[in-house]
Structure 1
Amino acid sequence: MTIVTDAKNGKITEEMKIVAKDEGKDPEFIRRGIAAGRIVIPMTPYRNIKLCGIGEGLRTKVNASIGASSDIIDEEMEVKKAKAAEAAGADTLMELGTGGDFLKMRKLVCDAISLSVGSVPLYQAFITAAKRDGSIVHMTEDDLWYATEEQAKLGTNFMAIHTGINNIVLDRLKAHGRYGGLCSRGGAFMSTWMLHNQKENPLYKDFDYLCEILKEHEVTLSTGNGMRAGAVHDATDRAQVQELIINSECADKAHDKYDLQVIVEGPGHVPLDQVEMNVKLMKAMSNGKPFYMLGPLVSDIGAGRDHIVTAIGAATSAAAGCDFLCYVTPAEHLALPNLQDVIEGVKTSKIAAHVGDMVKYPETAREVDLAMGRARAKLDWKGMYNLALDPELAKSVRDSRAPGDEDACTMCGDFCALKIVNQNYDLCK
């Protein structure tokens, strides 16, 4: 029995009621969305979490990703990053470590925060094989199943699992080529293993068994995007679209046959003129499943400021119907994100999500902007701080350049347009 089973049977669960209240929706709306596969509520029987609804008709959500690397293993810092991401407003968190003790690190993170936590069990399987046998190509199928179940028991709520990489997809990739190679770690791991061993991807070949594991532990399946573009010139190519077809078929099977909650992941580097098309393609192919956009980065030359490049693409994606955004930090393509990078990444993506929601849900999402406009017109600085996404930052910037006139700021000083108007006539609604 899963929440999808309940929804299909007409039962409104406590989780649905909680999400409905948070979103300002009728619980029946949430139930119908889950039954149809258009809404998910990542959950787990192993720990108490802050429930988060993702999907059609709900606010666009933001995921933050953390995790140690083979070069930098600092468990205390990763826990700090997780806490900072939650405090900054992240809706979910993915722990994607590739260095250190996988299970210890994930347990520390799960215990430290109340957010839904995602993972990629494939990483653990391949890296364990490399340490044990000297190469990732020696991973066994049992390594994959063991890592998946082990991570599920820790309280992992959703998993990015690369179900859509099969031999047909690799044929498309090899025949067409890539300008930017493969940027997906999971895609690189699995494709290398398949080509070396001349075998089909176990996650695709034995998809039914995978679904049984996920169902037992109430894990939401996020169909991993191993063929996502790592350069804008590779966006929407044949390998990416072929993988989307396979992932969409797997998503339907997981939801329809096994009553699993499913998210479909989308491409990474996409030029601005292709963003809306990619969102609509994903939604059409997957029968409206919640769409998780990885970025997108709309240009390849923003190194050091890729969080800004992503915000442009993310806002466009959200406006077009994307449900779930994976943040990008200023360190993208350059280094393992530090604490400040994580905070900056979350705050930037939260702005992008809100901008998208202003288009999708103007009657509700624009209310806070209306309140900010009125506060500015009245020179109500306390009100402006409270309405800002980052009140402390807003206040600290103004205080660092304190004006002589407390009503104004040092941008206009004595010639503040709002103050001049307020002193001479009433313009405000």
Structure 2
Amino acid sequence: MEYTTQMDAAKKGIVTRQMRDVAEREHIGLDQLIDLVARGKVAIPANRNHTNIKGCAVGERMSTKINVNLGISKDASSMDDEIAKYRKAIEMGGDAIMDLSCFGKTKTFRRKLLAECPVPIGTVPMYDAVGFLEKGLSHIEPREFLEVFRAHAEDGVDFMTIHAGLNRRTVERFKANRRLTNIVSRGGSLIFAWMISTGNENPFYEYFDEVLDIAEKYDVTLSLGDAMRPGCIEDASDACQIGELMELGELTLRAWAHNVQVMVEGPGHMPIDQIAANMLLEKRLCHGAPFYVLGPLVTDVAPGYDHITAAIGGAVAAANGADFLCYVTPAEHLRLPDLHDMKEGIVAAKIAAHAGDIAKGIPGAAQWDHRMSEARRNIDWKAMFAEAIDPEKPRAYRESSPPEHEDTCTMCGEMCAMRTMRRALEGEKEF
């Protein structure tokens, strides 16, 4: 029996290669996984033309995934640097890569990534439109945006962000409810500017059925972008954000009817006390579709440390139902991240995702912590480093300050509580 997309296969009861990968990784039965994919609660991004991809699932009952952004820009156009970052991201356990390239040989870079990368690749076609079409933004014809979308799909891109919820209703709502930081989504701001300059409806909304035809043909998962995500805590949970979320909920149902998988993107900057409610609201308005969040960043005053503000928000979001965390680096709001920034961002996002998985009771999550605690009780440094999210950093710390006794560290020395308790319980009398 043939199928068009992972969702179509699930509705027909067909088990795909990617589904088998996911079932093994997530410790879930195939019957339950098929049901979740068929109902849109889980997405498995896997373009038919991305032949070396392994199954990776985002959504209900799945472990929280993290995405790593990279790509070439006008001011930082080294493909070699970005490929090095991609390889390090995979080595560190990144679950997906988003190529946000917006300058130069974007097609060459994208195809190089897809030829090598075993995890889902995402893009934002709007970023590539001006260079791809070789004309100014305001001169692009409506259906030409679909040409860029199709080109990315043909290349093998697994999930694409389109800001289809930014339609004329959303624009009027924005005008009536002005914000402190306006529209901070790069793709959203470009669509807004195009709509204002041309007077046309957003082509990704107006021709959404044609977008779905392309997505179904290649099995592209739509990541419905949040053009109205809050760019500061003052704008969080406002009419613009919630109104667009309602639009995305309607688009989600249209996509599912077309057997196209969907993820819904979310905030953004948000006070910590609003995060749980926002996660529940997205699940309600978007019918349980997987939720993909940027952060959320819980304060606006920490440039240089936004990987920390995002990890705080990401942990709360994941614990309350977010399924996919977009990493944030220390360079957020400041410059394109380098390799070190990327590593810091990945580690922070992985900590947040794992904390959320513990809270959600994801199989195997708490057992990881149990193994680390056993290693600490036994003062087994090799085992501790093996279980660490980032083995390099703790190993380097220990090697930089060697203790007198191997079963201690230079913090407590012979007064180490683990060492003392082990010796006491083993019956030693002299301390």
Band the TM-score falls in, shorter-chain normalisation: over 0.9
The equivalent residue for 2:197 is 196
Partner in structure 2 of residue 419 of structure 1: 419
Distance 1:124-1:362 versus aligned 2 partners, 3 A rule: closer
> Residues of 1 paired with 2:295 and 2:362: CA distance?
23
Is residue 27–residue 363 contact of structure 2 (8 Å, CA) maintained in 1? no
Pairwise CA distance, 1:50: 2.0
Contact 1:126 1:189 (8 Å CA) reproduced = no
Partner of 1:92: 96
Return the offset for 1:83: 0.9
Contact 1:37–1:289 under 8 Å retained in 2:
yes
Q: Conserved in 1, the CA contact under 8 Å of 2:26 and 2:363? A: no
Query: CA 1:288/1:362 → structure 2, altered by over 3 Å: closer, same or farther?
Result: closer
SS of aligned partner of 2:143:
helix
Pair 1:59 & 2:63 matched: yes
**Given that residues 89 and 347 in structure 1 are in contact (C-alpha distance below 8 angstroms), is that contact kept between their aligned partners in structure 2?**
no
The match for 1:11 among 8, 14, 19 is: 14
Secondary structure, counterpart of 2:364 in structure 1: helix
- Name 1:38's counterpart in structure 2: 41
Does 1:23 pair with 2:26? yes
2:175 counterpart of 1:178: no
CA contact (8 A) 2:132 2:148 kept: no
Looking at structure 2, the residues matched to 127 and 175 of structure 1 have their Cα atoms a distance apart, in angstroms, of 33
Query: How many angstroms apart in 1 are the aligned matches of 2:372 and 2:106?
Result: 44
RMSD of the alignment, in Å? 1.4
Structure 1 range deviating more: 106-115 or 96-105: 106-115
Q: Letter of the aligned partner of 2:120 in structure 1?
A: S
Alignment correspondent of 2:324: 324
- Comparing 326-335 with 395-404, greater Cα deviation is found at 395-404
How far apart are the structure 2 equivalents of 1:363 and 1:80?
Answer: 32
CA contact (8 A) 2:249 2:286 kept: yes
Q: Which amino acid aligns with 1:11?
A: I
Distance 1:144 1:243 in 2: 21
CA contact (8 A) 2:184 2:230 kept: yes
Residues 159-214 of structure 1 show CA distances to partners (whole Å, capped at 9, x for unaligned) of 00111000111111111111122210111100111111111111111110110011
Matching of residues 68-83 of structure 1 within 5 Å: 68-83=72-87
Q: What amino acid maps onto 1:312 in structure 2?
A: I
Q: Deviations over 1:352-406 (max 9, x none)?
A: 1000000001663111111111211111111111111111221111111111111
Contact 2:17 2:55 in 1 (8 A): no
Pick closer, same or farther for the CA change 1:362–1:80 going to 2, 3 Å: closer
Counterpart CA distance in 2 for 1:363 and 1:138 is 52
The alpha-carbon deviation at position 128 of structure 1 amounts to 4.4
Distance in 2 separating the partners of 1:37 and 1:236: 25
Q: Which amino acid aligns with 1:166?
A: N
Question: Quick check: 2:295–2:326 contact (8 Å CA) kept in 1?
Answer: yes
Find the aligned partners of 2:268 and 2:36 in 1 and give their Cα distance. 26
Output the CA distance in 2 between the equivalents of 1:147 and 1:383.
Answer: 49
Opposite residue 174 of structure 1, the aligned amino acid is: K
Contact 1:83 1:112 in 2 (8 A): no
Paired residues for 1:10-409 under 5 Å? 10-46=13-49, 47-128=51-132, 131-132=134-135, 135-256=136-257, 258-361=258-361, 364-409=364-409
- Where structure 1 has 5 or more consecutive residues not aligned to the other structure, the ranges are none
TM-score (norm 2): 0.96
Deviation of 1:425 (Å): 2.1
Which runs of at least 4 in structure 1 moved beyond 4 Å after TM superposition? none
Contact 1:385 1:395 in 2 (8 A): yes
What are structure 2's unaligned runs of at least 5 residues? none
Q: Is the 8 A contact 1:164 1:244 kept in 2?
A: yes
Note closer, same or farther for the CA distance 1:23–1:363 as it changes in structure 2 (3 Å cut). Answer: closer
Cα distance in 2 for residues equivalent to 1:334 and 1:318: 26
TM-score by length of 1: 0.96
Give, in angstroms, the shift of residue 9 of structure 1. 1.9
Q: Is the partner of 2:155 in helix, strand or coil?
A: coil
Preserved CA contact (<8 Å) 2:96 2:121: yes
Deviations 1:91-140 (A, max 9, x none): 000000111122111112222321110001111124445x52xx321121
Q: Distance in 2 between matches of 1:97 and 1:279?
A: 29
SS in 2 for 1:153: helix
- How far, CA to CA, are the matches of 1:293 and 1:68 in structure 2? 23
Give yes or no for contact 1:60–1:325 (8 Å, CA) kept in 2. yes
Structure 2 residue identity aligned to 1:140: E
How far did residue 426 of structure 1 move? 5.7
Task: Please report how far the alpha carbon of residue 154 of structure 1 lies from its aligned counterpart in structure 2 after TM superposition.
Answer: 1.3
Code of the residue aligned with 1:56 in structure 2: it is: E
Aligned length: 423
Deviation string 1:219-247 (CA, Å, 9 cap, x unpaired) is 11110111111111101111111111111
Give the whole-Å Cα distance in 2 for the aligned partners of 1:50 and 1:12: 14
CA contact (8 A) 2:307 2:348 kept: yes
State the 1:23 CA deviation: 0.6
CA–CA distance in structure 2, aligned partners of residues 3 and 419 of structure 1: 53
AA at the equivalent of 1:425: L
Which amino acid in 1 is paired with 2:358? Answer: M
* Conserved 8 A contact 2:62-2:362: no
Change in Cα spacing, 1:220 to 1:226, as seen in structure 2 (3 Å) is same
- Superposition deviation, residue 142 in structure 1: 2.9
Q: Is the 8 A contact 1:62 1:324 kept in 2?
A: yes
